[in-house]
Amino acid sequence: MTPIENPAELDIPTRFETERMVLVAHDLSVAQAMNDAVRESHAELSAWMPWAKEIQTIEQTRAHIRQTMADFILGKTFAYSLTAKTSGEYMGNIGVHPRNWSVPSFEIGYWINTRFAGQGYTSEAVRYLTDYFMETVGAQRMLIRCDTRNRGSAGVARKCGYTLEGVHHNWGRDNKGDLMHMEHHARVTRS
């Protein structure tokens, strides 16, 4: 495949159905559920996510959702709510972030309410979106990055066929200000 010249002209679906979930592009109707989930999972999220250092107010969550809605239209990031197919319950977020349109390459980020962790939901969503972006959008490279200590996230990458390409030592700082090492996992079209 070739570089994508006009990202804003792409038609990326706002809804996907996987085996057990529906992935829906964010809108304000999930604001309260998202805010509740962030609160419930704050201990886990604050260990890894720069945005989860402080607990968000509902206004911050609403503002964040508005921003992601605009970003979706602009092709800056494609963010979805993970919702359970049977109950419709909100479970977490997954986002596909364009990294380099000339490749094209995308990075996937995700988190799930602690209550739903360990049941393969995140992997199911990551696998689905990875395949979609590689097969339909023409991605040559899909990337997942995580702190070396975040074994849950690394496990998702591995289960979804990503290969650990390297660890960048002293790459950044965590929410406590301590130095952290960043793992780069990727899937590429070339074997």
Partner 1 sequence: MPPVDEPILLDIPEIIAETDRLIIRAPQVGDGVLVHAAIVESFEQLNRWMHWAQRLQSIEETERMCRLGAAQFTRRDDLRMHLFERESGRFIGSSGLHNIDWQVPNMEIGYWLRTSATGKGYVTEAVNAITDFAFVMLGAERIEIRCDPENARSVAVAKRCSFIHEGVLRCEGRGPQGELRDTSVFSKIRKERQV
| C-alpha distances out from residue 58 to 12, 76, 163, Å | 28, 24, 37
Rounded least distance, CB 185 to partner 1, Å? 11
Cα-trace Rg, the chain:
16
Cβ neighbors of 141 (< 8 A, separation 6 or more) are: 99, 100, 103, 104, 105, 106, 186, 187, 188, 189
Q: Is 188 in the site for partner 1 (CB under 8 A)?
A: yes
Rounded least distance, CB 103 to partner 1, Å? 6
Residue from 7, 13, 118, 172 touching partner 1 (CB under 8 A): that is 172
> In this structure, how many other beta carbons lie within 10 angstroms of the beta carbon of residue 176?
9
CA distance 149 to 183: 9
Q: Is 127 in the site for partner 1 (CB under 8 A)?
A: no
Q: Which residue has the tokens 């339909």?
A: 136
Rounded least distance, CB 169 to partner 1, Å? 5
In the complex with partner 1, which residue's Cβ is closer, 47 or 186?
186
Q: Is 53 in the site for partner 1 (CB under 8 A)?
A: no
Q: Is 3 in the site for partner 1 (CB under 8 A)?
A: yes
In the complex with partner 1, which residue's Cβ is closer, 26 or 141?
141
Residues in contact with partner 1, total (CB under 8 A)? 23
In the complex with partner 1, which residue's Cβ is closer, 22 or 188?
188
Residue from 25, 171, 174, 175 touching partner 1 (CB under 8 A): that is 171
| C-alpha distances out from residue 33 to 15, 29, 64, 75, Å | 18, 8, 14, 25
Residue from 5, 8, 15, 177 touching partner 1 (CB under 8 A): that is 177
Helix (H) or strand (E) holding 38: helix 31-40
